[in-house]
Structure 1
Amino acid sequence: MPDTAPLRIATRSSQQASTQAGAVASALTAATGRPVELVFVDTVGDRTQADNVPLHSIGGQGVFVKEVQNAVLDGRADLAVHSAKDLTSDTTPGLRLAAFTERRDAHDVLVGATLDELPLGALVATGSVRRRAQLAAVRPDLEFAELRGNIGTRLSKVPDGGAIVMAKAALLILELTEHIAEELSLSEFVPAVGQGCVAIECRVDDDDTRRALATIDHAPTRRAVEIERAFLSELGSGCSLPVAGHVRGSGLDIFVADPERSTSVRHRVELRSHPDGHESVDADLAAARQGARDAMASLAGQVASGDGA
């Protein structure tokens, strides 16, 4: 007899997060017939929204997910919905990544002005060290400022004569794409691991929820994000450098930087497949890990020789 008990989704209460969770709820109900309830959770990242408090100073990646995960672990919710790019490379004990929704557009975008329109020394606001490093690699004249807050707050803080950087996926979710001045190249401005994707966790011993989530898991997105996460995992949880990894076409684009030395590396890993055309996931994961080692070795070599990007 099918389970008709409501599935409880833990999510942040921001407009973007709750909209993402609502889309997951609708998909689950359509696929399983079960009702779904949202359980709202505040995170450290939500409680520390001052522009002068950089994300990396309060924990960086993971500050928007831990309390949401705890709501599942302690039984207040059955599953947790996250922006995949907010997850650390380590799997949280007691939880499994049970589903990935189909990826939205992963581009970064400029709001306020295009890259060519920005005058010499223009101010660009972003809370991402990755985005700063990538922009500085092509426009070393730019100045940067912190940017925190929800989507509406960030859109209201475009500097005079400058721009802000955002994920296009966030604007797509909230139907705010009219604010985009320029879509940045995926190859030059490599997105964060998991950008544009929603990841869903449940408890490792909750087979009922796992089966429900399997109905909305998007296999191509899962493969891509698992490859990206393998690259990130190889760098280790202690890596504080700006990094990016994104599966695009038949390869994995990688970016690693040492902003203190104005040095960065772009690297592309060609992914492998069986002769019959089926993806070899294990081979691709191994290639992603090797790509991380190669990129870090190249970066170290540049730093040692004093060469910039």
Structure 2
Amino acid sequence: MGFHPHMYASVRGFDLVDPLCNLVFDQMTVDLWRVVAQEGARGRYVSMHPRIVLLLQGATLCLRQKDGPERRAAACFIPAGVELWGRVEAPGEMAHVDIHLDRRALRGLSDRAVALPEPILLPDLGPLAPLADLLARECRDPHRDPGHVERLAQLILLELLHHAAPRAPDPAPERQGWVAGVEAHVLNHLREKLSVDRLAQVAGMSRTSFNRRFREVLGKAPYQWVLEMRCAQAQRLMTKGLSLAEVADLCGFSDQAHFNRVFKSVTGQTPNLWMIGPEAGARGSNIQDSIS
């Protein structure tokens, strides 16, 4: 049975032009979508597996995380469990290729990609454009060997990582120091209650200054960031075979029910579903519901 991405997309204002074209492999699925975006079209997206999105023919989406700034993107690498909100700037027809990867396949391709906590968003396809067009044509009319197509998709991932611009250095070096100190404190005290007051103390700031500067540097509230840190550590522990009760305790959740609620709110999946993945053999639905 082929790989299924367990993708959740809640969209509004997009109408299919053609039926979905896809290529399914053991550890990868490639989808080609052609849609017409109405004025104000938007969506919310999350998957338990990493994926690449390539918008064709000059199209872009404005993407953001829950509390982060909006950025225009034509090529994206989105880590597993990262929730994104997107909107179109202008109505019209658009097409995009989505490459969904099994987490195990990603580990075999790029240690860097596995470790990324945040999406990579490129404003244009650049040198990826001919590769994306070739993969789109293969989705519409498959005639290459499956291994050839898989290697093409893998090459797109590696090229996207190569061409991703490194994050600009922070103009205030001391900010990097206090962020690193706060992160180290959180990782060393995940089993404990982590109040904003305590984190501000670690950073050497007042609570008000800490909240303001934290949002400036990391683009989100400290409370949300701590939850994401707890869930990221939970994912690492679950892959090592620890029980959910053990993971909940080690990551500072009051009980397993609390862990389940927070993990789902952060990743879009329950811990059990995140762990099961495609290897359990259950094909889930690719849900696209309208936003009310």
TM-score class normalised by the smaller sequence: under 0.3
TM-score normalised according to structure 1 size:
0.25
